[in-house]
């Protein structure tokens, strides 16, 4: 039997709701179809508490990044509005991601969450994708990243990036597979 894998879905105020809820549903449904649960899915944010998504959906009870377990199997950073993405640059999230780099099996992003991974320097020298409308932004922001604008998702282990919103679901299905 496989052991329980802890997945942290990292959101923030202004995050795209489906970027969080889509992956949550994939891993939750995988648990439903497995003989016993194989995933523990945690919703996290820089300071914990409530996340107000870009659509106004309020998700209560997120865990602060610093309070997450030391051992995580997978971290997925979600995309969202520009203001929320920019806030991630100044709230300690980039340092937290850098510190998790060598002790997390998989680090990935959904949609424009790739910009956060790029800002942390995690995608330098690697292939990545993001929402089609942000591919040029990613290319200009971090020239060391090889942007693949036509991919649904890109696996360049230990980093995984997906294109627009629902492509995050495809990425998570691949991770479960």
Catalytic residues, which ones?
111
Whole-number Å distance between alpha carbons of 175 and 153: 11
**Chain position carrying tokens 């997945």:** 7
**Rg, the chain, Cα only:** 15
Q: Which two tokens stand for residue 109?
A: 């992003």
Whole-number Å distance between alpha carbons of 146 and 127: 5
21's CB contacts (< 8 A; 6+ apart) are none
Q: Which two tokens stand for residue 55?
A: 């659509």
């Amino acid at each position: 039997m496989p052991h329980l894998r802890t997945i942290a879905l990292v959101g923030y105020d202004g995050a795209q709701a489906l970027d969080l809820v889509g992956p949550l549903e994939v891993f939750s449904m995988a648990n439903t179809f497995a003989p016993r649960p194989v995933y523990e899915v945690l919703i996290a944010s820089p300071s914990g508490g409530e996340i107000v998504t870009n659509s106004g959906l309020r998700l209560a009870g997120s865990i602060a990044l610093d309070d997450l377990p030391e051992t995580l199997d997978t971290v997925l950073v979600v995309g969202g509005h520009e203001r929320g993405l920019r806030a991630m640059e100044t709230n300690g999230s980039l340092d937290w991601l850098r510190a998790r780099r060598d002790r997390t099996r998989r680090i990935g992003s959904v949609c424009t969450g790739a910009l956060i991974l790029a800002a942390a320097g995690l995608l330098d020298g690697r292939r990545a994708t993001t929402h089609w409308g942000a591919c040029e932004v990613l290319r200009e922001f971090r020239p060391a990243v090889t942007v693949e604008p036509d991919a649904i998702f890109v696996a360049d282990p230990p980093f995984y990036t997906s294109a627009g919103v629902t492509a995050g679901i495809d990425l998570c299905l691949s991770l479960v597979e």
